């Protein structure tokens, strides 16, 4: 009876624990064979998990090293829709004031995206500034206006190369400096055209590395091509 009670008092609390614990029977000299619960836990899974994690990381590193492309091959060049020779046929500007090197998107009479490769050899850098080469803001605006000229000096619009002028700017903001080595990407979009008065209103934004460096509204005065 004592043995039964002892067995019950020892086993009862242990039965309420998790199912992964097992029972073993041991012999005790002062009692008849008494069942005593001996806790046996499942082996920990942490080591296996850590090993698997390390293996996965090693596999990922190996795969990425195999697929890694050299940086000089990673970024494609801008497309050429209008090259410098075609630009010279449309715009009257010449060195040192032609500030558009290439057009990468072109919708005549609607919009255009042009680029200006800013290099230390540009003639304005010796004076602006000798110790910190920054492209003058007025030249950024001029470059954007030239992209606007490429949009408007088309038969579809009726602009004349001989009488096309930059008439005004509004709400111009310079967000970040443009320095030697940058590629200035300029988008100009026609927002309003009054052919009767020969006036075109355009919206422009310039970017470096996908960030806006300059923006504003432009007013162009066009003569008749006839």
Told to judge if 8 belongs to the known catalytic residues of this protein, a careful annotator would answer no
Do 105 and 111 meet the contact criterion of CB atoms below 8 Å apart? yes
84, 159, 174 from 210: Cα distances, Å: 23, 31, 15
Distance CA 101, CA 115 (A): 6
Name the catalytic one among 8, 17, 93, 128: 128
Is residue 190 within 8 A of residue 111, CB to CB? The reply is yes
Burial per residue of 51-82, b for 16 or more beta-carbon CB atoms within 10 angstroms, e otherwise: eeeeeeeeeeeeeeeeeeeeeeeeeeebeeeb
- Joined together, the tokens standing for residue 28 give 């005790």
Provide the annotated active-site residues.
128
């Amino acid at each position: 009876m004592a043995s039964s009670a002892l067995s019950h008092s020892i086993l009862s609390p242990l039965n309420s624990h998790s199912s992964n614990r097992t029972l073993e029977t041991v012999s005790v000299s002062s009692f008849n064979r008494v069942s005593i619960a001996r806790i046996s836990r499942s082996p920990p899974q942490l080591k296996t998990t850590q090993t698997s994690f390390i293996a996965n990381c090693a596999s990922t590193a190996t795969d990425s090293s195999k697929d890694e492309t050299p940086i000089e091959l990673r970024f494609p060049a801008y497309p050429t829709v209008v090259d410098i020779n075609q630009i010279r046929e449309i715009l009257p500007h010449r060195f040192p004031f032609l500030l558009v090197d290439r057009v990468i998107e072109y919708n005549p009479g609607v919009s255009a995206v042009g680029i200006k490769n800013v290099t230390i050899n540009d003639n304005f850098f010796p004076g602006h500034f000798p110790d910190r080469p920054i492209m003058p803001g007025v030249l950024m605006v001029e470059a954007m206006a030239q992209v606007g000229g490429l949009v408007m000096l088309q038969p579809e619009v009726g602009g004349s190369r001989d009488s096309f002028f930059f008439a005004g700017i509004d709400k111009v903001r310079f967000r970040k400096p443009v320095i030697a080595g940058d590629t200035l990407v300029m988008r100009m979009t026609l927002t309003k055209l009054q052919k009767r008065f020969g006036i075109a209103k355009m919206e422009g934004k310039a970017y470096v590395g996908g960030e806006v460096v300059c923006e504003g509204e432009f007013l162009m005065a066009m003569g008749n091509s006839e």
